[in-house]
Amino acid sequence: MDGNGRWAKKRGLPRVEGHRKATEVVRAIIEASQNIGLEVLTLYTFSEENWNRPKDEVGALMGLLAEFLKSELPKMMKERIRLYAVGNLSLLPGLARTALQETIRLTKDNEGMKLVLALSYSARGEIVKAVREIAKLVADKEVSPEQIDEDMLAGHLYTRNLPDPDLLIRTSGEMRISNFLLYQIAYTELFFTQTLWPDFTKEEFLSALQDYSRRERRYGMTSEQLEGDN
């Protein structure tokens, strides 16, 4: 969800106003996702690198996160949305971490759409964490190196209880992944748009999904092989 600061700057507003507007778009995209029956929606909310931003901006973002979770909890319960969070959550300040943990706890039995917030998230950090955990298992002789496979590595990622993404949408015209789900997006379709996140609409979201639906996902096979499977 990129472009909040640029959106505010273009309007002569403080950066935090771009982030505030962004939360309105988040609500609209969550609603649109529910309406079409999307099973999982993951939002790259705050990267581990974002801690390097000015302290006042980081503080405002954490405040907006806590505010958003508290205001949206009744709707999550009504719509049976289950909240997940992936990332180094121990770095979150107390108020935001408490609000996040409470929302996760209260929605854990909900059986509707899974809403995943990537917070204090780094894909490289996630992979390093997984490798360290597996290395300890090997050192403790609980597993042998020969037993290590893709499933084992995936089982030590933050996303171990979630499917790999089908589609990744990057807003604001940036043509990069920015350390997001690097292991999980091996076969994910990518969609880039020039639209800044605060201007991203439900209509453009649905258009991206329509574009995705027209693509052929071959997973290394040929079109003829796929047609044969059908």
Domain boundaries along the sequence of the chain: 4-213
Residue where the block lists tokens 């996303």:
159
Q: What is the pTM of this model?
A: 0.93
Tens-place pLDDT, residues 27-43: 999 999 999 999 999 99
Model pLDDT, residue 128: 98
Pairing of strands 82-86, 114-121: parallel
Three-class secondary structure of residue 131 per DSSP = helix
Tens-place pLDDT, residues 156-195: 999 999 999 999 999 999 999 999 999 999 999 999 999 9
Fold of 4-213: Undecaprenyl pyrophosphate synthetase (3.40.1180)
Cβ burial of 152 (10 Å; 0-12, 13-18, 19+) is middle
Q: Name the residues annotated as catalytic.
A: 2, 50
Residues, the chain: 230
Model confidence band, residue 226 (pLDDT cutoffs 50, 70, 90) = confident
Tens-place pLDDT, residues 130-149: 999 999 999 999 999 999 99
Q: Give the pLDDT mean for 59-72.
A: 97
Residue % of the chain over a pLDDT of 90: 93
